[in-house]
């Protein structure tokens, strides 16, 4: 069985609330096993015999739409894929003082990444610093900047996205079996 993490976009925003228990029940009813949520209910860890991430994403998306009555964007990664994101070390040359390091998951890698990186998000100090495959790496500096990369990238790349702090990704990897060096 393969272990996956589903990152759900906007599951508990806009007056819509889904408890961790309801989300766990939803995933379990899909036939996946060992379901748990991490921190926010938008991070769901599970195991399944299905190996195709796209197939899993579609099943989860359809099931959540039927259950909740609205569309939820779903981004599925394996734990080894998350480990690879951390090992990529996109933030190694960044100043760590008062800085947050963010990873934005996008549905598919654009054929032609249209942004010249690094770039500063307008009206902020937040920067999109690099991209690799279906992940885009950003640096923010407090003052509400942490919310900026996701809508900026969705707007510019014309794709759905969801963003997590690299520390959350690291903690998921560490908790679910693949210890890594910090």
Q: For residue range 97-136, what is the model confidence (pLDDT) as tens digits? A: 889 999 999 988 877 788 899 999 999 999 999 999 999 9
Region of poorest pLDDT, from 11-15, 27-31, 92-96? 11-15
Helix or strand (DSSP H, E) at 151: helix 149-157
Radius of gyration of the chain from Cα atoms? 16
Instruction: State yes or no: pLDDT of 178 exceeds 60.
Output: no
How many whole angstroms separate alpha carbon 28 and alpha carbon 34? 8
β-pair partners for 40: 38
Does residue 120 have a cis bond before it (omega within 30 degrees)?
A: no
**How many Cβ atoms are within 10 Å of 99's Cβ, its own excluded?**
14
- pLDDT per position as a tens digit, 37-79: 998 779 999 999 998 989 999 999 999 999 999 999 999 999 9
CA distance from start to end of the chain: 27
């Amino acid at each position: 069985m393969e272990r996956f993490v589903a990152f759900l976009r906007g599951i508990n925003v806009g007056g819509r609330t889904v408890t961790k228990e309801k989300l766990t029940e939803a995933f379990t009813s899909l036939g996946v096993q060992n379901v748990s949520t991490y921190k926010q209910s938008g991070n769901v860890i599970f195991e399944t015999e299905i190996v195709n991430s796209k197939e899993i994403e579609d099943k989860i998306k359809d099931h959540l739409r039927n259950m909740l009555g609205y569309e939820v964007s779903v981004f599925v990664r394996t734990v080894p894929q998350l480990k690879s994101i951390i090992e990529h070390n996109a933030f190694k040359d960044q100043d760590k003082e008062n800085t947050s390091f963010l990873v934005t998951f996008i549905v598919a890698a654009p054929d032609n990444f249209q942004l010249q990186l690094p770039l500063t998000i307008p009206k902020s100090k937040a920067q999109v610093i690099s991209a690799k495959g279906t992940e885009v790496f950003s640096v923010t500096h407090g003052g509400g900047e942490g919310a900026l990369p996701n809508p900026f990238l969705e707007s510019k790349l014309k794709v759905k996205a969801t963003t997590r702090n690299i520390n959350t990704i690291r903690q998921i990897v560490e908790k679910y079996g693949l210890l890594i060096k910090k």
